[in-house]
Structure 1
Amino acid sequence: MTRSEDGGTRVLGLIAEHADSIRAALTEEQYRLLLTRLNTLAHIPPDDLRAMRRAFQGVRHCLVPLPYAHPVRKALDSVRLVGVAPVSGLAVLRTRDLLVQLMPPSRPDTTAIIAAAERRLRQAPALSAADVRDRYGGSAPPPELIRFADADLGDRYPEFQFRPGGGAPYEVVLEVNRVLLADADPWGAADWWLSGNTWLGGGPPAALLGIRPDRELVGAAVALVEGD
């Protein structure tokens, strides 16, 4: 078993061991989203390494709000997700048992949980697809930008990604979005930017653009994904 598999399996075991303190430390929305992310991980075929990596990254996102001293929060820093699956096939099966332990008697509607999280992220100021194309002289914007599809309004791009006054995107935003796989998981990437981040002092990374050094923002994203 690789170091990543060891670490991922250990994190899942610690979640089970410290379930009560995790529940107490997270908000209702954060906890329900954690259950949803675990449910996603539990139903991924063990041979789909990319999907497993993304799903485990989603679980990590949900655990970042835990206090630094929490055993699960400490364990996150030891898990690398580069090149190999973060958990073994056996651990995926154990995740299903873990869900039985963590789920309340009335199983939450995962579709409703995801929809609520997406509604929160959509409330952030955003630019239309036309606005963004104008900033690129009519050309298509880079795929690294976080883009939300909207059936009524068309594609929307969270405004924090762009420099004030009609400017281009921050280069560090594009770099971090590549790390966070924003093209495949725009909601997860947006949640990272717009939620409190203990690695960066507790505030949302989006509020630190142009304030904290770019290398610190990239380092926080890499630390989440790679566990360094």
Structure 2
Amino acid sequence: MGLSHALAALAEHWDDVRARLSPAEFDEVRALVEAFSREGDRVASEELAEDIADLLRARLPRDHPFPAALRAREERLAPDPAQRAAELGRWFGLTGPLRVRLGGPPEPTADEVEREAEARLLDVPALDADELRAHGLDPGDPDLIRLDRADGPARWPAFQFTPDGGAPDVVREVNRILAASDDPFGAADWWLGGNGRLGDAPARLIGTLPDADLIAAARAETGGA
């Protein structure tokens, strides 16, 4: 579904959409758009975009530009970190025209969105290098997500480890699939963000979902078989 195309169409045809809806319906759309424009998480913002799409699909004629745009093909995020960063910038750039329609403040820049996302990931429970060594783990292990920070020591998100300090094989395998050594923040975001295929954040499913399901979801994310 072409969510990004549809959101661009919504901004372009804002007045026409408003004219076709009742005041209560348009207030509902506006509230969803306001929430979308403030959301800094890709998965959560996609869920809001889908809510907007569901509401307007039922109320606009099929040949209207918004539902027509929804039928366009939505590109998956590229596995390459540089391409993915550019695509994320374009996705969050959709808030700009919508914010203008809402009369809100200027949208955050792509760099601001990226910094906010990294700060959120750095705040999750994590181990430091000494704690890894105490459990017999190597801080230099490329199969573990290491998040470097400018104002302190590196952190290893705690979801990667069992209560006794081990790192399950499925975590290592998925981290290799996600190229965590090259894109640790992207890998951490995948583990900790909502996943429509799995129905929850993958990190919460370690040990409760078959390892093969987590591996398949990671491969689907990167375009692998």
TM-score range, shorter chain: 0.5 to 0.7
Code of the aligned partner of 1:204: A
Contact 2:4 2:94 in 1 (8 A): no
Q: Deviations over 1:35-70 (max 9, x none)?
A: xxxxxxxxxxxxxxxxxxxxxxxxx99747865997
Q: How does 1:29-44 map to 2 (within 5 A)?
A: 31-32=39-40
Q: How many equivalent residue pairs? A: 182
Code of the aligned partner of 1:145: L
Q: Structure 1 unaligned runs (5+)?
A: 1-6, 35-59
Counterpart among 171, 174, 191 of residue 173 in structure 1: 171
Q: Does 1:159 align with 2:154?
A: no
Let me know the Cα RMSD of the aligned residues: 4.4
Contact 1:121 1:191 in 2 (8 A): yes
Distance 2:38 2:170 in 1: 27
Distance 1:30 1:156 in 2: 28
Larger radius of gyration: 2
Runs ≥4 residues deviating over 6 A: 18-21, 68-74
Equivalent residue number for residue 189 of structure 2: 191
Q: How does 1:1-228 map to 2 (within 5 A)?
A: 13=5, 16-17=8-9, 24=32, 27-28=35-36, 31-32=39-40, 63=46, 67=50, 75=73, 102=97, 104-105=99-100, 106-136=106-136, 139-167=138-166, 169-201=167-199, 203-226=200-223
Distance 2:174 2:71 in 1: 21
Distance 1:140 1:156, change over 3 A: closer
Contact 2:145 2:184 in 1 (8 A): yes
Distance 1:64 1:27, change over 3 A: same
Contact 1:197 1:205 in 2 (8 A): yes
Deviation at 1:213, TM superposition (A): 0.3
Contact 2:36 2:49 in 1 (8 A): no
Q: Structure 2 unaligned runs (5+)?
A: 15-28, 55-68, 101-105
The normalised TM-score by structure 2 is: 0.59
Contact 1:148 1:186 in 2 (8 A): yes
Distance 1:190 1:29 in 2: 23
Give % identity: 34
